[in-house]
Amino acid sequence: MELSTYNRSSIEEIKQLFTRVFSDSEGPSEGSLIGNLVFDLIESTDPKDIYGFVATENDQIIGSIFFTRLMFESGVNTFILAPVAIHTDWQGRGIGQNLIKFGIDHLKKEGVTLMFTYGDPNYYSKVGFSPITEKVAKAPLKLSQPEGWLCQSLVGREIKPIAGSSHCVEALNKAEYW
């Protein structure tokens, strides 16, 4: 398996991966929603505000992950991990965790200090995320599952409260994702 930066020429293959994985686990409407999110992220996000990575095996994309800028009034350099998908046939082999670690290591080198995600605390705790409250850092939109608001410091410091509101990239700025 090889981990690398995604290539925009693979946008359709990546969209289909997310659509298929989320359709298998959450149903066709969720698959379509997340597949379209990934397409919109790639197409509409300023390149300086998005990082994407893929896991490939025999030139086939078997996993993918995206990180987009999360902006706070204080100007702290933060990104949010969302979404991630591993082909159903390849799940349970640590590929998702390796892909997340690979992406986070890349963003550390780019000077990102905090990484957020919104998802299953049991899964994301395996790669260094901890639950936080909105008293520590305000989410861009109302959280339907506040226990899934997670963060980790990429510089080894305690996560201190961040004053003010936050804003995500436009493609992610929709209530159905939160």
Three-state DSSP class for 108?
helix
114-118/78-86 β-pairing: parallel
DSSP-based helix, strand, coil % in the chain, nearest 5: 40, 30, 30
In the chain (178 residues long), the average pLDDT of successive 10-residue segments reads: 96 98 97 98 97 97 98 94 97 96 97 96 95 96 96 92 95 96
- Domains, the chain, ranges and CATH? 2-177 (3.40.630.30)
Torsion-angle region of 48 (φ positive above 0: left; ψ -120 to 50: alpha; else: beta):
alpha
50 Cβ partners below 8 Å, 6+ apart?
41, 42, 66, 67, 68, 69, 169
pLDDT on residue 157: 82
Structure tokens at 131: 């639950």
Half-sphere exposure of 141 (CA within 13 A, CB side): 14
Task: Give the phi and the psi of residue 93 in degrees, each rounded to 5.
Answer: -115, 10
> Contact at 8 Å (CB) between 80 and 67?
yes
**Residues 19, 108: Cα–Cα separation, whole Å:** 29
pLDDT on residue 160: 92
pLDDT on residue 126: 95
